[in-house]
Amino acid sequence: MLLALAWKNIWRNKKRSGIIVAAITFGLWGGLFSSAIMVGMTESMVETAISRNLSHIQIHKVDYDQNRDIRNFLPDGPRILSEIEDFGGVSAAEGRTLVVGMAASASSSYGVNITGIIPEDSKKITDIYSKIVEGSYFGTDKRNQIIIGTKLAERLNLKLNHKIILSFQDLQGGIAYIACRIVGFFKTNSSQFDEANVFVLQKDLFRILSTAPIVHEIAIRVQNIEKLDMVMASLRSAFPDLQIESWKDLAPELAYLSQNANIYMYLFVGIILFALLFGITNTMLMSVVDRIRELGVLIAIGMKKSKVFSMIVLETVFLSLTGGLLGIAIGMISIAYYGDTGIDLTAISVSLESFGASAILYPILPVAMYLVLTVMIILAANIAALLPAWKATHLVPSEAIRTY
């Protein structure tokens, strides 16, 4: 009955309650949706980076970070690669031959990272093949095929089937040249990546370098991302002399964003709730002031102050939860809708791509967030109720009864 009274009381002034419910609803919806966009963007940046070239785990020679010389390849790399392909928890692995060099066209030149790959293996690790916007992904049997990014093509003024000259240090310390024909252009979400990376077939590199297969980097996809740390530990144990790093080690800025996205999200929504708290307190204070005589009567006829306090808290919680749950519901629906269709931000795609985010954003919010938010609303309501409830319980019934 006390619950019923509290619920009925909040709807006595429908306009006033409606306004604060609307404020809570739209405030929370805005907070949730913004958070979902933020989380979606972070997830997109992480997933895009992993799919583009990062992979889940990379293996190098211990000092490769300090010395990216072509001669600093993994000793016995192909054998290690073969072992890793059969390693527990590993979904796929590819060996990459990495060379830093210059790409030159008839009109210009630019420093690039040249990656020698086996396309069939690479397809299991990266999604570059799906980012081909013109031409094909090593579709022919011809020698010296190359795919380059659209950004580099613009810089070097290159078209499909044009030739491009790559020059780089060979294994003996000299300079090697290879004239490649462009068979495809890729366009990823990162214009920086597209400008600085080219892909050639490993066999072409080995032929130019006159070497047996060499591998500088083994990129790995794990079967279950939740078990990444476990796979890492097993690999480190099996290959103690190699540098084994997860995507979090390789891209700490992304790991930081990913790990802290939830904290920012809670902080953001918390600030919104904090601001709403003043509105809720004001509404409830007005409600108490409007009912001074009635509350005085309740205390006079024998309603204990603790019950009066509980009633005001209940009213505040009901009011806040009505707006809060509506906000959560609208948030869930809109996040689910745009999570499926995506939000097209192609109008600002240039700036988004400059830091590796997709132009189509898919808002996403962990389910736990909704539960935590409900608890946060109840907590905020309890805080907002303190002042009005205190005022209500400190009424002097003999005076309150005579208030008109």
Burial (0-12, 13-18, 19+ Cβ within 10 Å), 368: exposed
CB of 19 to another protein, least distance (A): 20
Q: Which is nearer to another protein, 18 or 252 (CB)?
A: 18
Which residue among 136, 260, 354, 398 contacts another protein (CB under 8 A)?
398
How far, in Å, are 4, 67, 69, 72, 169 from residue 173 at the CA level? 85, 14, 10, 12, 6
Closest CB 261 distance from another protein, rounded Å: 45
Q: Calculate helix-pair angle for 367-393, 14-49, nearest 10 degrees.
A: 150
Residue 182, Cβ density class (10 Å: 0-12 exposed, 13-18 middle, ≥19 buried): buried
CB of 358 to another protein, least distance (A): 53
* 346 CB burial (10 A radius; 0-12, 13-18, 19+): exposed
CB 365 within 8 A of CB 261: no
Closest CB to another protein among 80 and 400? 400
Give the residue with the Cβ less far from another protein, 344 or 399: 399
Q: Taking CB under 8 A as the criterion, which residues in 196-255 touch another protein?
A: none
- For another protein, the closer CB: 5 or 230: 5
Which tokens is 145 given? 């095929």
Cβ closest to another protein, residue 101 vs residue 296: 296
386: CB partners within 8 A, 6+ apart: none
CB of 326 to another protein, least distance (A): 22
Residue whose CB is less far from another protein, 5 or 100:
5
Query: Which residues, at least 6 apart from 224, have a Cβ–Cβ distance to it below 8 Å?
Result: 89
Angle at Cα 214 formed by Cα 152 and Cα 158, nearest 5°?
Answer: 15
* Least Å from the CB of residue 301 to another protein: 6
By CB under 8 A, the residues from 4 to 33 that bind another protein are 5, 8-9, 12
Residue 178 φ then ψ, to 5°: -145, 130
> How near is the Cβ of 323 to another protein at its closest, in Å?
20
Burial of residue 226 (number of CB atoms within 10 Å: 0-12, 13-18, 19+): exposed
Beta strands per DSSP E along 209-322: 217-222, 242-246
* Residue 119 structure tokens: 């396309």
- Of residues 220 and 295, the one with the C-beta less far from another protein: 295
Taking the complex as a whole, the smallest distance from the CB of residue 32 to another protein amounts, in Å, to 32
Q: Which is nearer to another protein, 300 or 350 (CB)?
A: 300
Contact between 124 and 221 under an 8 Å Cβ cutoff? The reply is yes
Between 8 and 79, name the residue whose CB sits nearer to another protein. 8
Asked whether 43 and 345 are in contact (CB, 8 A), the reply is no
How far apart are CB 303 and another protein at their closest, in Å? 6
Q: Which helix (H) or strand (E) holds 115?
A: strand 109-117
Residue 20 Cβ vs another protein, minimum distance, rounded to whole Å = 18
Closest distance of CB 380 from another protein, Å? 25
Q: Which residue among 2, 22, 179, 350 contacts another protein (CB under 8 A)? A: 2
Cβ closer to another protein: 303 or 343? 303
Residue 3 touching another protein (CB under 8 A): no
Q: What is the pattern of x (binds another protein, CB under 8 A) and - over residues 282-321?
A: -----------xx--xxxxxxxxx-x--------------
Phi/psi for 280 (5° steps) reads -65, -45
Least distance CB 404 / another protein (angstroms): 8
# residues contacting another protein (CB under 8 A): 22
- Residue 345 binds another protein, judged by CB under 8 A: no
Q: Which of 1, 212, 263, 375 forms a contact with another protein (CB under 8 A)? A: 1
Q: Is 138 helix (H, G, I), strand (E, B) or coil?
A: coil
- Compute the distance between CA of residue 342 and CA of residue 338 in angstroms, rounded to an integer: 5
Nearer to another protein, 82 or 403 (CB): 403
The rounded distance, in Å, linking the Cα atoms of 392 and 397 is: 10
Among 78, 119, 270, 397, binds another protein (CB under 8 A): 397
Q: Residue numbers of the site for another protein (CB under 8 A)?
A: 1-2, 5, 8-9, 12, 293-294, 297-305, 307, 397-398, 401, 404
